[in-house]
Structure 1
Amino acid sequence: MASHLDTLVTVFGGSGFLGRHVVSALAKRDYRIRVAVRRPELAGHLQPLGKVGQIHAVQANLRYPDSVKAAVRDAGIVVNLVGILAEGGAQKFHAVQAQGAAAIAEATARVGARMVHVSAIGADPQSASLYARSKAAGEQAVLAAVPEAVILRPSVVFGPEDQFTNRFAALARISAVVPLVGGGVTRLQPVYVGDVASAVAAAVDGEAQAGATYELGGPEVLTMRQVIEIILDIIQRKRILLSLPFWLAGLQARLLQFAPGALKLTPDQVALLQLDNVVSDGAKAAGLTLQALGIPPDSLQAIAPSYLWRFRATGQFQRKVVEPKSS
């Protein structure tokens, strides 16, 4: 049997939030890794994750099929992690998450490589969200070109560089009010980025069922209100939680979609929040979960304090005041 050093894995989107964790997980397994990104000069932070010469960044743009074909040349396995949370410029949901996924899958099929495609829980061709519809179209395109591709659908992913917990912590730092879209009743199953990366690596190792769709969630199902309460407790800030009906949040999002940083809220995100984002009963029954891959998921409470401390008033040096129990 050939060693992993003889296997080249091309990772599209390997320089992003999830990507750097996937590259690290693959490097620890001794794969040779080609990271396909739009701007390889900004991917230098990946090289220290592996041995000398193990990780190499190349230029590839999903809107230019020839660059995609060049990136998968000689690869034994192709991983697609590319995704966007909001549209901007030429980066449109359909172009990146549907057409881009199709281009990668078609190139993968040409070289006869295996494929692992990361999508999202909630991918649905009938969804009111363009994000969710484009994710579903991407899955369909991948399976049409590579029927044995493994598809991984994570719930909301959290970790040190995320745009989820960090965003709400940053908002709480600058505002006395934190809005709860739809009253904060939407159910989520936050999953740690390291666990998702381990799932990708397991699929690359061949431990996942070919052609199967896995749903990846953390150990707890939490409402959006509970998630924000956990974040506020970690950063030790008391804030007013203001419930916003979906219709009002949708109106505000028409303006806030142009806002910077933590204030940004798009109409498409409001549409996404109208549906729960949790692992389905069908996936559990079929054994298509993190646990089925031998990965015990880490909780938000266990991981988030290790990086959200910077949002406390005095950072890591702030002491947590414990109120005395009433007798």
Structure 2
Amino acid sequence: MLRDELITVFGGSGFVGRHVVRALAKAGYRVRVASRRPHLAQDLRVMGVVGQVQLVQTNIRVPSSVERAVEGASGVVNLVGVLAEGGRQNFASLHAAGAEAIAKAAATAGINRVIQVSAIGASAESASRYAQSKAQGESAVMAAVPTATVLRPSIIFGTDDGFFNMFGSMARFAPSLPLFGGGKSRFQPVFAGDVAAAVLAAFEDNAARGETYELGGPGVYSFKELMQFILDETDRPRFLVPLPYSIGMVMGMMFEMLAILPFVQPMLTRDQMIQLQSDNVVSDDAKGLADLGITPETVEAIVPTYLGRYRRHGQFHEKSEA
């Protein structure tokens, strides 16, 4: 049964956004997806009954566009973000100014339920511009809507993710995979479906108002362990080559230069290399998925279901025995 509440999801056509839209629609909410290119997200309509999921063209750099997107809504989710900058799509305009515009529009419309999806490591003191901009966005949202909830996920995995798929694809052609800094950095990957469940839970749990949650899965892995897991699942024996961060910075600069070309996305940036030098795990004293009543999925249960496409002899071929 459909509820009366309408929730506007900014960035709902993206990787995580699709999971969020599905979770909200399944829970009976009416969902308005605010996207720069709604014509590329028509498949979202089938995630609900007829008319349950709406698509609206929105540019978060245009205040009037944001105001129209939140009109009549009782809740707002902000998922807008980029991992690498390009033209006007930069960290400052999207993560900081964009989040502020969305929160102010929500406040003006009388909306007190705002979910800001940020990232573990967000900090004004970070050397990473990505992390700085995420922290600025959090501060702006909380200033405008004190009852907002901030969700900080670690790296997010799922069928269309940009981490396991990127390295799985790379392993098809490259004779080796890099271990920047020796591959010692630690990660706590979280399933996109669990992030979506956290968004839904944050809306429905009054105790989540004004709180910040760090979202991580049940396992903590070193970068090296994740690379080896990918090679094992794709049945591709490759060398894992330790490289100093300084080499990674040079590689990042080269990829950034290539990204000047139209439609080219950098595989690695210098800012990402800075982020890689710090662990990306849930803090010991942070509230997390358990506080939202969510038992997270494991990497081992989900990732093999889509890494098979990169397997040496095809996705239906059995893995070689070690």
Shorter chain as normaliser: what TM range? Answer: over 0.9
Q: Determine helix, strand or coil for the equivalent of 2:236.
A: coil
Residue of structure 1 equivalent to 2:7? 9
Whole-Å separation in 2 of the counterparts to 1:115 and 1:184: 37
Residue of structure 2 equivalent to 1:212? 211
Whole-Å separation in 2 of the counterparts to 1:291 and 1:250: 37
Compute the RMSD of aligned alpha carbons: 1.4
Residue of structure 1 equivalent to 2:289? 290
The Cα offsets for residues 77-133 of structure 1, whole Å up to 9 and x where unpaired, read as 000011100001110100000000000000000111110110000000011110000
Residue of structure 1 equivalent to 2:115? 116
**Cα offset, 1:4, TM superposition:** 5.5
Whole-Å separation in 1 of the counterparts to 2:107 and 2:137: 15
Alignment CA distance shift 1:161-1:188 (3 Å)? same
**TM-score, normalised to structure 1's length?**
0.94
Alignment CA distance shift 1:178-1:302 (3 Å)? same
Whole-Å separation in 1 of the counterparts to 2:136 and 2:210: 16
Residue of structure 1 equivalent to 2:95? 97
Answer whether contact 1:35 1:55 (CA < 8 A) is retained. Answer: yes
Q: Determine helix, strand or coil for the equivalent of 1:103.
A: helix
Answer whether contact 2:157 2:191 (CA < 8 A) is retained. Answer: yes
Answer whether contact 2:176 2:240 (CA < 8 A) is retained. Answer: yes
Residue of structure 2 equivalent to 1:64? 62
**Cα offset, 1:203, TM superposition:** 1.1
**TM-score, normalised to structure 2's length?**
0.96
Give the gaps of 5 or more residues in structure 2. Answer: none
Give the gaps of 5 or more residues in structure 1. Answer: none
Q: Determine helix, strand or coil for the equivalent of 2:69.
A: helix
Q: Determine helix, strand or coil for the equivalent of 1:97.
A: helix
The Cα offsets for residues 186-207 of structure 1, whole Å up to 9 and x where unpaired, read as 0100001111010011112235
Residue of structure 2 equivalent to 1:40? 38
**Mapping 1:124-273, distance limit 5 Å:** 124-206=123-205, 208-259=207-258, 264-273=267-276
**How many pairs align?**
317
Instruction: Letter of the 2:159 partner, please give it.
Output: P
The Cα offsets for residues 225-245 of structure 1, whole Å up to 9 and x where unpaired, read as 001111111111111111111
Identity of aligned residues (%): 52
Answer whether contact 1:171 1:263 (CA < 8 A) is retained. Answer: no
Answer whether contact 1:208 1:293 (CA < 8 A) is retained. Answer: no
